Amino acid sequence: MTDVRVERVWGEDELPIAGLIPVAAAEGHGFVALTHDEWLSGLNRFQQEGEAFFVAYTDGALAGMCGLNIDPFIAGPDVGRIRHLYVAPNVRRLGVGRALVESCINHGRGSFRRLRLRTFDPVASAFYVAIGFEEVEERTATHSMSMS
């Protein structure tokens, strides 16, 4: 198994994900650039109570990213939302995605009673179920996890 190092990005002006933008864009994933732009503009820096943004490295190279926000689709601050998980294609299936999502889950304990997310990709769905999320049929979420 590859050595995966996950770091929380907090209070920095620059978000260190620029190297992922062209790779993600080539796969049709514009959300990586959007995440970067929203960080730079201050629109979303994952800094409200319970929120966090993580980046992962393998062998010293940037490998992926994932964020945890207060879920904007639920009234109240006690439900978190896993957002913007991206893992570079060359390091998929090496534990990077799991390490990132588990970092979000562990960070969210004590702040959130439930975590939610939305994906329509069957591979991603199976990944989240394997980590412990349950499939749900909600208007704004496809997966949910109780934090109790």
Q: Where do the structural domains in the chain lie, given as residue ranges?
A: 4-146
Residue 84's alpha-carbon distances to 1, 34, 59, 148, in angstroms, are 24, 9, 22, 24
pTM above threshold 0.85: yes
**Low-confidence spans in the chain with pLDDT less than 70:** 1
C-alpha–C-alpha distance, residues 27 and 30, integer Å = 9
Residue 42 structure tokens: 């201050």
| Per-residue confidence (pLDDT) for residue 11, from 0 to 100 | 87
pLDDT in tens, 17-30: 999 999 999 999 99
Specify the CATH class of 4-146 in words.
alpha beta
Give me the pLDDT at residue 1, please. 54
pLDDT given for residue 2 in this prediction: 73
Angle at 46 between CA 31 and CA 8, to 5 degrees: 95
Residue whose tokens read 């770091």: 7
